[in-house]
């Protein structure tokens, strides 16, 4: 079997592992939600029976405990969350091998077109998720990170796929490794930060009495960190990604001068990369110096990630420019 074909199979294997992880994480959250409701109902039942008996002691008139209040449920097993994490590690390993094999088959760094960018960006997002989880429990992000990752991988395989081959002379530079590689890492971190901000918005809405998010089906939000903790995590991730994106712009300008004799040419990709930088710079500035926090800061992150996605897809597919290297 050719290395390129083996790479494709490994990508599908990673997508399958992440799809199963998505189910495991989702069921885990559902069980946590159900346990929360059961515990609350049991506590209310115990309180009502105690009041009816005239005190918190033994309830007279009960036969063999038939009408006794249900015991408060014990801790819920997180085995499914553990399975989800194991599958996430497996998916990261499969993607890494697939990327390496793709690079060997193409005889170059494996991130020169949209297909490869999607693969490596997804790998970084999954790697950041499992890596952060070694320092703090972020399994509540699992269903969302794995869900987005499956979506990106399937789109890459079905819509962005191109055969492994060489690249244009302008791309045969060490800047392909530095400039594009750093951009991909930044995009992967932006992805995890985006998921964190979306959860922050959901949790904040629930805590403020949202009728929709107050239903039983959204009880799993009680098992996510507080909105302030989620905002803090998102801010840290975005700060790291912003520094990397800044290097992306600087490296791109240096490479453009070497390849085309100018640092800046208002190419669509250059413009939108700068727009992404401006949006995240405004977010960091507003949060650190203007006191923006809560949902306003989270919506800023959502807007920034929308720009990132458009820069990756829309700019490559809609506009023609010197950065039209999608391969499609």
Specify if 8 maps to a domain.
Answer: yes
Domain housing 24: 3-317
pLDDT of residue 214: 61
Specify if 322 maps to a domain.
Answer: no
How would you class 54 by CB atoms within 10 Å of its CB: exposed for 0-12, middle for 13-18, buried for 19 or more?
exposed
Provide the mean pLDDT of the chain: 84
pLDDT of residue 51: 47
121-143 residue pLDDT tens: 999 999 999 999 999 999 999 99
- Output the pTM of the full model: 0.83
Residues 6+ apart with CB under 8 A from 89: 130
Q: Is residue 63's pLDDT more than 50?
A: no
* Top-ranked range on mean pLDDT: pick from 16-25, 178-187, 293-302: 16-25
Specify if 328 maps to a domain.
Answer: no
**Residue that has been written with the tokens 């912003």 in this structure:** 242
Specify if 58 maps to a domain.
Answer: yes
Question: In the structure, what pLDDT confidence band is assigned to residue 70 with cuts at 50, 70 and 90?
Answer: very low
Question: In the structure, what pLDDT confidence band is assigned to residue 1 with cuts at 50, 70 and 90?
Answer: low
And the tokens for 322? 């010197």
Q: Is residue 284's pLDDT more than 50?
A: yes
Specify if 324 maps to a domain.
Answer: no
And the tokens for 21? 């992880």
Specify if 229 maps to a domain.
Answer: yes
81-115 residue pLDDT tens: 999 999 999 999 999 999 999 999 988 889 888 89
Specify if 123 maps to a domain.
Answer: yes
Q: Alpha helix locations (H) across the chain?
A: 3-53, 79-106, 114-133, 142-155, 175, 181-207, 227-260, 268-289, 294-312, 314-318
Specify if 278 maps to a domain.
Answer: yes
Q: What's the structural domain count of the chain?
A: 1
pLDDT of residue 164: 85
pLDDT of residue 290: 79
């Amino acid at each position: 079997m050719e290395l390129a074909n083996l790479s494709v199979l490994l990508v599908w294997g990673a997508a399958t592992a992440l799809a199963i992880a998505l189910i495991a994480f989702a069921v885990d959250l559902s069980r946590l939600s159900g346990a929360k409701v059961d515990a609350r109902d049991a506590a209310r039942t115990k309180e009502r029976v105690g009041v009816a008996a005239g005190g918190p002691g033994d309830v007279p008139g009960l036969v063999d405990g038939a009408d006794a209040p249900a015991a408060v449920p014990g801790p819920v097993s997180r085995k499914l969350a553990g399975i989800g994490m194991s599958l996430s590690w497996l998916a990261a390993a499969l993607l890494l091998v697939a990327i390496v094999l793709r690079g060997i088959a193409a005889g170059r760094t494996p991130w020169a077109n949209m297909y490869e960018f999607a693969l490596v960006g997804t790998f970084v997002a999954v790697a950041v998720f499992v890596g952060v989880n070694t320092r703090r429990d972020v399994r509540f992000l699992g269903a969302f990170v794995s869900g987005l990752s499956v979506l990106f991988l399937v789109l890459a395989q079905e819509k962005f796929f191109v055969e492994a081959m060489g690249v244009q002379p302008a791309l045969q530079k060490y800047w392909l490794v530095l400039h594009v590689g750093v951009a991909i890492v930044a995009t992967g971190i932006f992805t995890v930060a985006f998921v964190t901000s979306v959860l922050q918005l959901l949790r904040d809405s629930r805590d403020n009495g949202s009728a929709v998010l107050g239903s039983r089906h959204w009880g799993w939000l009680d098992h996510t960190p507080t909105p302030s903790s989620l905002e803090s995590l998102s801010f840290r991730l975005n700060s790291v990604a912003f520094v990397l994106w800044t290097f992306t712009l600087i490296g791109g300008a240096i490479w453009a001068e070497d390849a085309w004799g100018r640092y800046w040419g208002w190419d669509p990709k250059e413009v939108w990369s700068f727009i992404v930088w401006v949006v995240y710079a405004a977010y960091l500035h507003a949060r650190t110096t203007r006191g923006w926090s809560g949902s306003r800061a989270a919506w800023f992150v959502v807007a920034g990630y929308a720009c990132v996605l458009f820069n990756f897809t829309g700019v490559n597919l809609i506009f023609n420019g010197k950065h039209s290297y999608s391969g499609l």
